[in-house]
Amino acid sequence: MTGPSHFESFESYIPVDLRSPEALLAAAGVVLFFVLFRYFLMVAPFWWAFYRRGVAPSRRIYARLPGRAEQLFEIKWSLVSGLVFAVFGVGLGVLWQLGWTRIYLRFDEFGWFYFFVIGPVLLLVLHDTYFYWTHRWLHLPSVYRRFHRVHHESLHPSPWASFSFHPVESAINAAAIPLIVLILPLHPVHILVHLTLMTVSAITNHLGFEVLPRSAAVHGWGNWVISGLHHAQHHRFFRWNYGLFFSVWDRMMKTEHPSFWAEFTQKLNSKTNVS
């Protein structure tokens, strides 16, 4: 009989006792480094390709791309968000170490179908639901003025705006996964893959270019997922298009902008380098 694999060991993910103040502080520093490293590592290639190399000009959504001052503003607030994300990341580790979460380590503990399908899908759906309704709350006039306005200072956001939030909004966003794992069994791999997907989604939604393939318009599936143009309309019109991954809640609650599909199909049917 073989023992657990490397990825089925708690110490593979958290090699220190986070109940120790010194270890907690060191872990926060490490998490902060990886949060910011991930931000720059993942945003930079998109920025370089679309803003420096001029990839797919016919897919550009804005008449004018954001300038240097606007991009530096977004980077500044994203760095602040990185601090908040690091705190919540370490907090999640503490909850896990204390045994308060549903995080599991053996890959097939709930069966392989749960590991590959049910768990990831439920995480996407729950996170999308959480984001939609907290986003609606952030658009209440008094809340918007105090917290959400920072993000909407980017009327035409660049990919650097992916994490450009007021600290309170950053905390609301960062709380999603810790809250979800209190009730939903997830493997650390689920969380790591989801965070990567979420980052790519945030980047492409703020890119200023529509990167979905033409098949999204031809076959209609682009009407169910959040795209660059979908979220660009949110920054432009404020009161529409609140979703994170899917447009289901927007369609159910009638908060999807009426012109979205027409603009989307027009953009994807234009001559483009993206197929």
The Cα 148–Cα 166 span in angstroms is 7
And the tokens for 8?
Answer: 């089925």
In b/e form, how buried is each residue of 151-163, taking b as 16+ CB within 10 angstroms?
bbebebbbbbbbb
Domain ranges in the chain?
A: 39-269
pLDDT in tens, 175-222: 999 999 999 999 999 999 999 999 999 999 999 999 999 999 989 999
Do residues 90 and 27 make contact, with C-beta atoms less than 8 angstroms apart? yes
The pLDDT of residue 16 = 83
Banded model confidence at residue 9, pLDDT cuts 50, 70, 90: confident
Per the prediction, the chain carries an average pLDDT of 94
pLDDT in tens, 36-85: 999 999 999 999 999 999 999 999 999 999 999 999 999 999 999 999 99
Global pTM reads 0.93
Residue 251, amino acid: R
In b/e form, how buried is each residue of 130-140, taking b as 16+ CB within 10 angstroms?
bbbebbeebee
pLDDT at 6 over 70: no
pLDDT at 275 over 50: no
The pLDDT of residue 274 = 38
User: Please, is 95 exposed, middle or buried when counting C-beta atoms within 10 Å of its C-beta (0-12, 13-18, 19+)?
Assistant: middle
